[in-house]
Structure 1
Amino acid sequence: MNLDFSQIVPYIPFMLKGIGATLKFVSISILVGFILGTILALCKITNKPVLKWFAAAYTSIFRGTPLILQLMIIYFAIPQLTGYDIDGFLAAILAFGLNSAAYVSEIIRAGIMAVDHGQTEAAEALGIPYKPMMLNIILPQAIKNILPALMNEFITLTKESAIVSTIGYLDLMRRAQIVGADLYRNFEPLLVAGLIYWIMVVILTKIGSMVERRMRYSD
């Protein structure tokens, strides 16, 4: 086996910078996805057919097409139509945020539906308007129940973030590719990148478990 990890040691700081670049756009994307996903979830349970149709169509499109295709359309196709060049960071946030919203909307919708219907009936009996009831009573209980699923979505986005290397964004994967091209050795930098991704996922999983336990004991 022709392996020599000593050659990539000088490149380790360069690769480690990719962790911050990766987590930065993934964190913003999951925030965008959570906000938009919450709105879509509320549209799905409303009595207004137009909003229901829009939310269902949005979810179908973004769940039914590859994430890399959505990224390519935002980064390459939209500038062709608009004449506005989108940088890699913004394109990554838009693609991952819009895609995540489709999945998060289903997670939140399921969480809302899982809340005891008696909570809604009690709030209506007390004359609490729909918006305060959702924000202060239903959603907090739903989020507590779906926290593991939301954390899993964050972890999934972190792993899938590697595809932004296809548009030249200097995330962890792209930096590993640059090191490989510079050294004419790909196995070692890709293995190191894989190890870093694994460590990030393990840490995020531990954090998710800690938050979940804290919320469970806060009942």
Structure 2
Amino acid sequence: MKKIWTSIAGLIALAAVALGLSLGNAQPAHAASDSNTFKVGMECGYAPFNWTQSTNAHGAVQIQGTSQWANGYDVQTAKIIAKKLGKKLVVVKTKWDGLLPSLTSGKIDAIIAGMSPTPDRRKSIDFTDAYYVSRLTMVVKKNSKYAKADSIQDFKGAKITAQLSTYHYDAIKQIKGVLRQPAMDDFPAMRVALESGTIDGYVSEIPEGITAEAANPDLKMVHFKKGQGFKTSASDTNLAIGVRKGYSETNKINQILTSMSKKQRDARMDDAVANQPSTAAKGNWFINILKQYGGMLATGTGMTLLISLVGTIVGFIIGLLVGIVRTIPAPKSASRRGLLGFFKWLLSVYIEVFRGTPMIVQAAVLYYGAAQAMGINMDRTVAALVIVSINTGAYISEIIRGGIISVDPGQFEAASALGMTHWQTMTKIILPQAVRNSMPAVTNEFIVNIKDTSVLSIISVSELFFTSETIAGQNFQFFHTYLVVCLIYLILTFTISRLFRIIEKRLDGPKNYNVMNNQMQVETPKVK
């Protein structure tokens, strides 16, 4: 057992290193009260409205809890509003489908992310007056047959998609005979699909179309003839700021928006288009990505390692305890036997629930659901650590139970004959063997956790995959970026596999161990 706990202590030390790596360059989350901060949620990946950059150039604002900066039309608009409200602007980077639950759960004060005040959204949140008026367009490949289209009806038979939970996706229905594809999470994902030929085009807004053209010469924004484009209503094209129902600052924000002239808004959009990060790549792409985004990748890697390592260690401890309880023999007392049976039933429910539901759903329920239902506003990193630990514990408890069952029953009987309690039997005899037998499966669980942390992007945890999405959305080098990230994942999993093999060998002990040679040797007396 000493070797087991020494190994666990070593893993905890490694977790501390991972924590330092992930938080070394990050700034602490803003903890100020709502009275002096204006917390705004946005994707930070929808240029020119909002994007992520590595410096504070052109008036960028630091993203909460990270060493990264946000900029764009939305950010500059939010800066003006926060200043006139007399508050400090805090930008909270959140995935598109997490914006509404973040707002309704009180994690942010407003959504400024190019969102339209559709009737469905108005059921759950309020909107201010419009801060920008947009028009729909279509982005296609420059060399495709759809590049010369001047009407939306020219896309009959085309595979078209749009962003999830937007009116863009509903607008596709206006095209007769179109092959509407499943909606996608964000614009970087749609650009990847378009470049790979999975789709023929995607619905976008004109500013984003201009950005796509400038970033990739192989893409083109379609210009429709007058009256031949998408038919939209003011509730669709008017981009507004989303706020909670009954938000006290709504009227003040409307007054601020009214004071902004169309000329000022257009000038702000022109500046955003001009100042968005350059996607031009010179020299070796691999070196360029590491040089420009190395810090972001290191932070994301550290967060992935931290969450997976802490989750595996805590899950391992949970699994040990659950495994011990589930193998306790039935007591002779009926009341104790009933209590133990009920407790085992609860543990079985825990195991079945967390093994039978996806981690991505568990994360969303814990992070957003707890805030909405019980008012528990949990930090997203803490939520990630909790959900991975509990999820891992459910799997490892079954692994440990299998390891315990694999031990020869005769050893239980021998320990009982010696008068040992169940706890003594488990800690002194059974668990050392069960843990050793289970180590390959635990190693595999650790590796699975490293890869499965990618689903935590649903609550916008800045782990490696979420960071790679940000980078790809900024430099438009999707294949190259994801290839680098794939290499990082491979290095992590390969290193962990080798490390745990060393641990397994240490638990095995020397192969030439001889009990007799390690006992007190008795010398035969010499006969005189």
- Give the TM-score band, short-chain normalised: over 0.9
Aligned counterparts, 1:1-219, within 5 A:
5=285, 7-8=288-289, 9-46=291-328, 47=330, 48-218=340-510
Bigger mean CA deviation after superposition, 85-94 or 163-172: 163-172
Once residues 212 and 31 of structure 1 are traced to their aligned partners in structure 2, the CA distance between those partners, rounded to angstroms, is 16
Once residues 462 and 468 of structure 2 are traced to their aligned partners in structure 1, the CA distance between those partners, rounded to angstroms, is 9
Bigger mean CA deviation after superposition, 12-21 or 124-133: 12-21
Determine helix, strand or coil for the equivalent of 1:127. coil
Runs of 4+ displaced beyond 3 Å: 1-4
Q: Deviations over 1:50-71 (max 9, x none)?
A: 1221121111111111111001
Q: Deviations over 1:81-123 (max 9, x none)?
A: 1212111111111111111111100000000011111111111
Indicate conservation of the 8 Å contact 1:45/1:52, yes or no: no
Once residues 31 and 175 of structure 1 are traced to their aligned partners in structure 2, the CA distance between those partners, rounded to angstroms, is 24
Once residues 84 and 56 of structure 1 are traced to their aligned partners in structure 2, the CA distance between those partners, rounded to angstroms, is 26
Bigger mean CA deviation after superposition, 105-114 or 133-142: 133-142
Once residues 359 and 424 of structure 2 are traced to their aligned partners in structure 1, the CA distance between those partners, rounded to angstroms, is 35
Once residues 429 and 505 of structure 2 are traced to their aligned partners in structure 1, the CA distance between those partners, rounded to angstroms, is 21
Q: Deviations over 1:139-197 (max 9, x none)?
A: 11110111111111111111111112221111111111111122233222221111100
Amino acid at match of 1:30: T
Count how many residue pairs are aligned between Structure 1 and Structure 2.
219
The answer to which structure, 1 or 2, has the higher relative contact order (CA under 8 A, 6+ apart) is: 1
Determine helix, strand or coil for the equivalent of 2:461. coil
Determine helix, strand or coil for the equivalent of 2:480. helix
Determine helix, strand or coil for the equivalent of 1:84. coil
Bigger mean CA deviation after superposition, 161-170 or 150-159: 161-170
Once residues 184 and 19 of structure 1 are traced to their aligned partners in structure 2, the CA distance between those partners, rounded to angstroms, is 21
Identity %: 34
Indicate conservation of the 8 Å contact 2:315/2:392, yes or no: yes
Once residues 88 and 189 of structure 1 are traced to their aligned partners in structure 2, the CA distance between those partners, rounded to angstroms, is 25
Report the structure number with the largest CA radius of gyration.
2
Determine helix, strand or coil for the equivalent of 1:85. coil
Once residues 91 and 64 of structure 1 are traced to their aligned partners in structure 2, the CA distance between those partners, rounded to angstroms, is 19
Deviation at 1:23, TM superposition (A): 1.0
Indicate conservation of the 8 Å contact 1:29/1:94, yes or no: yes
Once residues 445 and 361 of structure 2 are traced to their aligned partners in structure 1, the CA distance between those partners, rounded to angstroms, is 19
* Unmatched 5+ stretches in structure 1: none
Which residue number in structure 1 is paired with residue 46 of structure 2?
none
Which one has the bigger helix percentage? 1
| RMSD, aligned CA | 1.9
Deviation at 1:209, TM superposition (A): 1.6
Deviation at 1:131, TM superposition (A): 1.2
* Unmatched 5+ stretches in structure 2: 1-194, 196-217, 219-279, 331-339, 514-528
Once residues 385 and 295 of structure 2 are traced to their aligned partners in structure 1, the CA distance between those partners, rounded to angstroms, is 25
Deviation at 1:7, TM superposition (A): 4.3
Indicate conservation of the 8 Å contact 2:324/2:426, yes or no: no
